Structure 1
Amino acid sequence: MLSTEHLGTLFTNARSHNEWLDKPVTDAQLHQIYDLMKWGPTSANCSPARIVFVRGDAEKEKLVACVSAGNADKTRAAPVTAIIGMDMAFYDKLPQLFPHADARSWFVGNQPMIDATAFRNSSLQGAYFMVATRALGLDCGPMSGFDAEKVNAAFFAGTTVKANFICNIGYGNAEKLFARSPRLAFDEACKIV
């Protein structure tokens, strides 16, 4: 079992950041994040998440043009913004990722199943991404306030990938955090049957 300190790093003390310290995130750290998050489970090991790490000034401005006004400054200021995408042709990788069954045939021609599986599992992988980011000592600020079609055109044109959500990463400025928002109690959110 993880220590209380480690659980705090991942969950209880972790916060979504909107303001960032001027401290770079290295390529090696981005590789480490992916090398941890890729081990999180997905159905039939389908692993549909595809990530674009946006760091360069020109690319950042291209992304800022796609986000809501309230997300523009924090996206611009973040050392890196990750676009968590979902490969809508993820099933083409199933012979490699799930070789003990013909899992590709489960999806071909079944668009509702493709859509649901890509969204659900890339969302799971996005959560693993945030936990991995925190485990490596970085902070994150996930956002859904963006125009997905603009992001798709700017970053995924000519591919089978579509944007799911975006997440700023770096070293958050703890002095700029507002009071923590409440969470639902167990009995408000859960039932044991």
Structure 2
Amino acid sequence: MTTRVTLVSPAMNPSLREARFDDGCSLDAAGAARAHAAAGELRTAATALVSPTVRCRETAAALGLDARAEPALASLDMGRWRGRTLDEVGAGEPEALARWLADPAAAPHGGESVRLLCARVGDWLEETARRAGRTVAVVEPEVVRAVAVRVLGAPETAFWRIDVPPLTATSFTGRAGRWNLTPGTALGGSSGTP
């Protein structure tokens, strides 16, 4: 039995442009246009899922996916840092930011640690592997990173070493407890870089 999972990162929005922890803002005009241009590029899937964030839901809709929200694929809970830029956090809490980037178990923002995110999406992946067929999900970049860490058996410290550009599709194929990864493919006729 083969399981195929394609994870699509959301199109561009102002938060991504500003390196701001998700603040619930919508796609910008260019991101929405690019997502609409990519409609029809994804292979048909038995299951279509979406992270509960605004930009993921809007991206899924623009891609023409009739996707249901999957709480297990929610973005990393950034606690009190939500809506702040990386520079703002670095200026106000440099030690906490450094600890968060170096230690996967750290959650100085009062939200979720990278370790907990990796465990959560790893559990989802194991459950998904019990079903044959194709799943496509529009998810935040950190969810793609967490799945990649799990699939590759990489240490959680590798999480920050994986780049996931906007509107790219990363595929995972699993069979007999073993997964293969196909790195992100840009959708919408662009390189995927901001």
TM-score after normalising by structure 1:
0.29
Q: Which has the higher helix share?
A: 1
Give the TM-score of the pair, scaled to structure 2: 0.29
